């Protein structure tokens, strides 16, 4: 059995009671970064052994993990924050488990784009989740595609590239297109701002240093 267990994206209280219980019951926790996950587990008194499972080793580990799971082990997969597999490691292992007949269960829980989308004030009945754009090759192609979408689209971006992204979005979507930048969701300094792209770009271009995880929500083309 493999459990996909979401972990808090900000406030530690966002973890569910079921997630805490299962993390304490499984044989092993696969963690994207053990240094990040260990303080959370210690906070809740969870002493289950940890093993690193991340983008740099997942290809090498999948076959071994599937063998261990087929032999009767029960593992949990967690990432640094949010739901495994959503712009984080997880897909390869889930696919391999499904192909091997191993049961996979994903608990409901934190994922960054949902609160950003819901709180943005931008239509969210239909939306396109893009995640992280390519840093170089293919970036322009994706921006051109997104700019023409009739529905809202959602992006993830790192804090040191947010001003550049907003400038590119303004260039492709126009200065008046409504957008929202959600930063530090569920944390003490949570900031969710909805405004035309030109205003958001100017705001973040003027900031000397931006911190925190960022979600960008952009309205579809009129």
Average pLDDT, the chain: 96
The structure tokens 């829980």 sit at 109
* Residues listed for the chain: 222
Contacts of 206 (CB under 8 A, 6+ apart): none
Cα 98 to Cα 21, 88, 132, 172, 208: the distances in Å are 24, 18, 26, 40, 47
Residues paired with 180 in a beta bridge: 194, 217
Nearest to 207 by CA among 172, 175, 160, 158: 160
User: What pLDDT shows up at residue 108?
Assistant: 96
User: What pLDDT shows up at residue 29?
Assistant: 98
User: What pLDDT shows up at residue 222?
Assistant: 87
DSSP 8-class letter at 33: -
In whole angstroms, give the CA distance from residue 79 to residue 112. Answer: 13
Residues paired with 126 in a beta bridge: none
Tokens of 221: 């083309």
Cα 140 to Cα 137, 144, 165, 169, 196: the distances in Å are 8, 6, 11, 10, 21
Domains in the chain (CATH in brackets) are 2-106 (3.40.1010.10), 113-218 (3.30.950.10)
DSSP 8-class letter at 38: H
User: What pLDDT shows up at residue 208?
Assistant: 86
Per-residue pLDDT reduced to its tens digit, 152-199:
999 999 999 999 999 999 999 999 999 999 999 999 999 999 999 999
Helix residue ranges per DSSP H, 71-212:
91-99, 113-119, 139-147, 162-173, 197-205
Per-residue pLDDT reduced to its tens digit, 17-38:
999 999 999 999 999 999 999 9
Say if pTM beats, i.e. exceeds, 0.85. yes
The structure tokens 């999948």 sit at 62
Per-residue pLDDT reduced to its tens digit, 43-81:
999 999 999 999 999 999 999 999 999 999 999 999 999
């Amino acid at each position: 059995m493999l459990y996909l267990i979401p972990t808090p994206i900000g406030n530690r209280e966002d973890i569910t009671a079921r997630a805490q219980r299962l993390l304490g019951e499984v044989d092993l926790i696969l963690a994207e970064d053990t240094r990040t996950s260990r303080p959370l587990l210690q906070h809740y008194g969870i002493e289950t052994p940890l093993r690193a499972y991340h983008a740099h080793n997942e290809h090498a580990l999948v076959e071994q993990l599937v063998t261990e799971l087929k032999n009767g082990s029960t593992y949990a997969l967690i990432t640094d924050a949010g739901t495994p597999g959503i712009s984080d490691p997880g897909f390869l292992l889930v696919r391999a488990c499904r192909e091997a007949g191993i049961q996979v269960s994903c608990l409901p829980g934190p994922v960054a784009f949902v609160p950003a989308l819901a709180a943005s004030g931008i239509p969210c009945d239909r939306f396109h989740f893009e995640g992280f754009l390519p840093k170089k090759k293919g970036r322009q192609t994706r921006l051109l595609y997104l700019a023409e979408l009739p529905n809202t689209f959602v992006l993830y971006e790192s804090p040191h590239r947010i001003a550049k992204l907003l400038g590119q979005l303004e260039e492709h979507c126009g200065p008046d297109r409504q957008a929202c930048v959600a930063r530090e969701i569920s944390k003490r300094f949570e900031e969710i701002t909805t405004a035309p792209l030109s205003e958001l770009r100017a705001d973040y271009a003027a900031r000397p240093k931006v911190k925190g995880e960022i979600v960008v929500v952009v309205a579809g083309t009129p």
